[in-house]
Structure 1
Amino acid sequence: MLCLRVVLALILLAVAVLSAFPLGAPAREKVKASERAQKFVQDHVAKLRPLEVAVNLAWWKAQTTGKDEDFQEKEKAQNRVDEALANPVAFEELKSIKKEGGIDDPILAREIDLLYLTYLEKQVDPALLKKMTAISNKVEKAFNVFRARVDGKEMTDSEVRKVLKTSKNSERRQAVWEASKAVGSVLAGDLRELVKVRNEAAVKLGFKNYHQLQLFLNEQNGDDLIKLFDELDDLTREPFRAAKKEIDAKLAADCGIGVEQLRPWHYHDPFFQESPAVFAISLDGPYAKADIPKLTQDFYASIGLPVEDVLARSDLYEKPKKSPHAFCTDIDREGDVRVLANIVNNEMWMSTMLHEFGHSVYSSKNIPHSLPYLVRLEAHILTTEGVAMMFERLSKQRAWLEKMGLKVGDAKAFDETAAKVLRNQLLIF
């Protein structure tokens, strides 16, 4: 009993001492800084979150329909977001919070850093912001709805790629390739103007050009990036030349021409970003009759990362005026994640689906909702691309195909071809 009385007395003494000596100035300042930062974040999220969801929904609709009215609504929604972020009073408060520091919560401090980058980009003349958005919207729409036209017939992107992958007729290949590149003349004037106004905005913000601004906003050092690519070029130049020599010889033989006669339309990918299919066997064979969405669903379920809900909201097949490419987007950071694709039954689209749904499981679906809205996304664009590229490689691995129930005819030829294609993809950048 005596011991208990002593303990209670000591506790009361400690309370009295602490009451007599409140938090020191540094501690009070930290509390004040955190409260100020938290208020800014709360006000921002309350105002911007519904605007961001609205612009994401408008963007998705425009990408899937290509309609004029949908792109107009997308532009209006983006202007509303830009107007809110361009508020100079809010930006001054944000700069002050960031400069003073003293925020003891690392997540809250990160939110402030992200907001600073988000607001910074919009601190230019509102008329210039609207001009950039209008031109960008126009370019995006024109690119999305464009289709190559050959002999009076409109061709989808997959039809263009099929000709470039299979035709041995150089004249046919040239006609299709040039038709696919006609989008350049459609976009040229507006694209040049977009470059001009973006650079103008970047200079007003204190950057050399728009490219430098974007690197800064993505927290990347341009000089380090150039050094990295210079090093990669040094390390891969000779292996690339050897690989291209082998590819060129096979492409020329397929079309019955000399290597010196090869032109851009003799390569299989319109942008020379993929290794041409010129090796022992086609990697497309096992996917000819495969259910690619189901394979995607089954694979991600098998590793404990189900994507059925994402598939249900996605737009996966070709249609007129729809964006011809592929992407994954998070509409609300609350679970509404979607993928746009243009599936045909080949290895490229199996790889693409694994890639895009890799984004969904890394950048969106499996981030805890306990995290604040502003940090409920990937750590960086490089990390999400790294994860997606890891998953996309599975489509070229025979063990994976067989595990997923697909049959590979000539195992040895498939493995040799896949190894060369994977290696060449790493050399082409």
Structure 2
Amino acid sequence: MELQRLNMEMKQKYERMMDSLWHLLVTGNPDLIEAADQTEKAYQTLLLSQEVQQLIKSKTKERSNNTSLEHMQINMLRNETLEFSYDLTLREQMNELWSGLNFHFATFRPTIDGQTFTESELLGELENQPDPNERKKYWEAYMKSGQEIEDQLLTLVKKRNQVAREKGYSNFYELKLSTQDLNVKDVKETIYHIKSSLDPIYEYLKQMIDEEIMEKFNISSQEIQPWHYQHPFFQYYKNNHINCSIDMLDIKDFFEKINLDIAPLIQNGNFTNDQEKSPTGFCFHVDRQGDIRISVNQNPTFQSIQTLLHELGHGAYEMSMNPSLPFLLKQPSQIFISEAIALLFEKIPLYSIHFPSKDASEVLAKETYYQNLLVRLYWTMTLTLFEMQLYENPEQNLNELWWTLVKDIQKVNPPEDWDFPYWASKSHLSSLPVYYHNYLFGELIASTLFIYLKSSFKEPFSPDAIQDLKEHLFYPGASLRWKDASNADFFLPITSQYLKDEIKAYFKTKSD
């Protein structure tokens, strides 16, 4: 099999797989599970076929004769096949477990006193509910999800580790990192550098949050429980519900002014707030040829607009790639680069003078943004380290490990009834394994890019600034290794320093 023919066959099967998954997630229709399963199996079967594996081996041997594009395609292909077992029975067992878990989280609706809630509705209750006993009910209902699927998730974790050992790795976490030119040491050192610099600021913010809780509920610091915070996992300080209703046409016009035509993204997207659809926003490039679909549960708040901009960031990257690239390379150079662009786009309303609906609430929006950024960063480090240790030893006392990390990093005390698999309620552990470090590295790169754009252009989100990103980062797709991109002239080295400086600068200004 030649690379050109493989690219064509992969595109056909990938498009069917992503289209099936899209319809399943935006409808929550269980009748579509079978189609999603079958199309994914067909895609995996192609990648693991003898012809494709032989192609990888032969091209690897001929490395000196390969063009740079051929080398990058083989590298992407090898990395993509790495997490799939050659054992058909094991592969089918894993697919069945993953599909069941994915559907569970897409359709799970917490129930309290006979009333069913969407995730956004439940989070709204946690923001406004003054009765601690009622808040505990909401928190426990949200966390019940993990108790329902703990066994299936742990079974899948062990099978993922089995595949990793089959491929020569100690565990699945190490395998996944290797496909991104990363290792466990990179992740641990990054977390260490962030914490060593930002711990005092985080502790200051956490104390302020706890004092607000103590005053609101008339309790002592020792009485603060996880359900007193506005998110069950303390993923953010508070939801940015500043009323910020913006018409999609205004969003489209703004992006046109900065040389990004997002009209197709809006036309193909799903922005309804239906109870049946997945509560998580996402962006799929279904065919890697322009069929880009975004799903967001849209409502008239600043938080919702930031979620929309996040997914539009993914979409802008995908639609700006070189259209002549082969299918294998028509994707981001790494997932965390795409996450960086998405996180960068979340800053647009705060720093673009041309963004619609700028008013007196801008100051409050920026304050909440940086408070949430810091809380989110410490949550991200918590889940990243937990998942790393989950794959290192899935037989350990995971409930105890969870609360040890939560208390040490987030400074949140466990409840009296702590010995339950609350951690399993985080969907990423099931449906997007070894993904959360991408948010961590994405935050670093987003700040790096933000500093670069601010220093190089009059405005970080001006047409010239966006054009620079399009030409140097978006256009090459995966034809350029991320480490090469990070050393390009236009792009500052990837380091945690810029993220730390950005956060420190904001909190210093607030304290002056």
- Tell me what 1:284 maps to: 241
**2:31 maps to 1:76:** no
Judge conservation of contact 1:337–1:360 (CA < 8 Å) in 2. yes
CA-to-aligned-CA distance 1:97-150 (integer Å, 9 cap, x gap): 113311352122111111122233335201111111111000110111110111
Alignment of 1:210-359 (within 5 A): 210-276=172-238, 283-287=240-244, 290-291=245-246, 293-359=248-314
In the alignment, which of 408, 411, 414 is matched to residue 359 of structure 2?
408
Q: 2: distance between equivalents of 1:410 and 1:188?
A: 42
Which residue identity lines up with residue 336 of structure 1 in the other structure?
D
**2:308 maps to 1:365:** no
The change in CA–CA distance for 1:251 and 1:292 in structure 2 (over 3 A counts) is farther
Q: 2: distance between equivalents of 1:273 and 1:300?
A: 29
Alignment of 1:125-204 (within 5 A): 125-204=87-166
- Tell me what 2:429 maps to: none
In structure 2, list runs of 5 or more residues that go unmatched: 381-512
The change in CA–CA distance for 1:268 and 1:296 in structure 2 (over 3 A counts) is farther
Judge conservation of contact 2:8–2:327 (CA < 8 Å) in 1. no
Structure 1 residue 236, shift from structure 2 partner: 1.9
Which residue identity lines up with residue 327 of structure 1 in the other structure?
F
CA-to-aligned-CA distance 1:162-183 (integer Å, 9 cap, x gap): 1111222211211111111111
Percent sequence identity over matched residues?
Answer: 24
In the alignment, which of 334, 347, 368 is matched to residue 380 of structure 1?
334
- Tell me what 2:169 maps to: 207
Greater shift, 260-269 or 227-236, is seen at: 227-236
Structure 1 residue 424, shift from structure 2 partner: 4.6
Q: 1: distance between equivalents of 2:193 and 2:67?
A: 38
Structure 1 residue 332, shift from structure 2 partner: 0.4
Q: 2: distance between equivalents of 1:77 and 1:170?
A: 46
CA-to-aligned-CA distance 1:290-344 (integer Å, 9 cap, x gap): 1364443233222110211111111112223311111111000111001111122
SS in 2 for 1:328: strand
Judge conservation of contact 1:316–1:342 (CA < 8 Å) in 2. yes
Structure 1 residue 416, shift from structure 2 partner: 4.6
The change in CA–CA distance for 1:55 and 1:411 in structure 2 (over 3 A counts) is closer
SS in 2 for 1:207: coil
Which residue identity lines up with residue 316 of structure 2 in the other structure?
V
Greater shift, 87-96 or 142-151, is seen at: 87-96
Structure 1 residue 272, shift from structure 2 partner: 1.5
Which residue identity lines up with residue 121 of structure 2 in the other structure?
E
Judge conservation of contact 1:58–1:73 (CA < 8 Å) in 2. yes
Q: 1: distance between equivalents of 2:51 and 2:370?
A: 56
The change in CA–CA distance for 1:293 and 1:157 in structure 2 (over 3 A counts) is farther
The change in CA–CA distance for 1:91 and 1:410 in structure 2 (over 3 A counts) is closer
SS in 2 for 1:64: helix
Q: What RMSD over aligned residues (CA atoms) do the two structures have, in Å?
A: 2.1
The change in CA–CA distance for 1:425 and 1:179 in structure 2 (over 3 A counts) is closer
Judge conservation of contact 1:143–1:187 (CA < 8 Å) in 2. no
Q: How many residues align?
A: 380
Judge conservation of contact 1:117–1:217 (CA < 8 Å) in 2. yes
Q: 1: distance between equivalents of 2:161 and 2:343?
A: 31
Structure 1 residue 271, shift from structure 2 partner: 2.2
CA-to-aligned-CA distance 1:255-305 (integer Å, 9 cap, x gap): 22222211111111222221236xxxxx53341xx1364443233222110
- Tell me what 2:455 maps to: none
The change in CA–CA distance for 1:174 and 1:313 in structure 2 (over 3 A counts) is same
SS in 2 for 1:197: helix
Judge conservation of contact 2:243–2:300 (CA < 8 Å) in 1. no
CA-to-aligned-CA distance 1:33-64 (integer Å, 9 cap, x gap): xxxxxx62113123222111100101101111
The change in CA–CA distance for 1:411 and 1:328 in structure 2 (over 3 A counts) is closer
Judge conservation of contact 2:250–2:356 (CA < 8 Å) in 1. no
Which residue identity lines up with residue 138 of structure 1 in the other structure?
G
Greater shift, 159-168 or 326-335, is seen at: 159-168
Judge conservation of contact 1:142–1:186 (CA < 8 Å) in 2. no
Judge conservation of contact 1:314–1:338 (CA < 8 Å) in 2. yes
Which residue identity lines up with residue 335 of structure 2 in the other structure?
I
**2:390 maps to 1:390:** no
The change in CA–CA distance for 1:273 and 1:295 in structure 2 (over 3 A counts) is farther
Judge conservation of contact 2:348–2:355 (CA < 8 Å) in 1. no
The change in CA–CA distance for 1:374 and 1:229 in structure 2 (over 3 A counts) is same
Greater shift, 69-78 or 343-352, is seen at: 343-352
CA-to-aligned-CA distance 1:58-106 (integer Å, 9 cap, x gap): 1101111122221111001111111111123431331231133113521
Which residue identity lines up with residue 408 of structure 1 in the other structure?
D
- Tell me what 1:54 maps to: 16
Structure 1 residue 421, shift from structure 2 partner: 4.2
The change in CA–CA distance for 1:104 and 1:193 in structure 2 (over 3 A counts) is closer
- Tell me what 1:40 maps to: 2
Judge conservation of contact 2:24–2:33 (CA < 8 Å) in 1. yes
Structure 1 residue 412, shift from structure 2 partner: 5.5
Structure 1 residue 201, shift from structure 2 partner: 1.4
Greater shift, 101-110 or 126-135, is seen at: 101-110
Judge conservation of contact 1:91–1:119 (CA < 8 Å) in 2. no
Alignment of 1:2-21 (within 5 A): none
Judge conservation of contact 1:103–1:109 (CA < 8 Å) in 2. no
Judge conservation of contact 2:242–2:365 (CA < 8 Å) in 1. no
Which residue identity lines up with residue 225 of structure 2 in the other structure?
R
Structure 1 residue 235, shift from structure 2 partner: 1.7
SS in 1 for 2:116: strand
SS in 2 for 1:182: helix
The change in CA–CA distance for 1:61 and 1:411 in structure 2 (over 3 A counts) is closer
The change in CA–CA distance for 1:386 and 1:413 in structure 2 (over 3 A counts) is closer
CA-to-aligned-CA distance 1:183-216 (integer Å, 9 cap, x gap): 1122112111111211111111111111111112
Tell me which structure has the larger Cα radius of gyration: 1
CA-to-aligned-CA distance 1:396-416 (integer Å, 9 cap, x gap): x2x64x744425346655555
- Tell me what 1:33 maps to: none
Which residue identity lines up with residue 201 of structure 1 in the other structure?
V
> Which one has more relative contact order, counting CA pairs under 8 Å at least 6 apart?
2
In structure 1, list runs of 5 or more residues that go unmatched: 1-38, 278-282
Q: 2: distance between equivalents of 1:367 and 1:169?
A: 51
TM-score of the two chains, using structure 1 as the length reference: 0.83
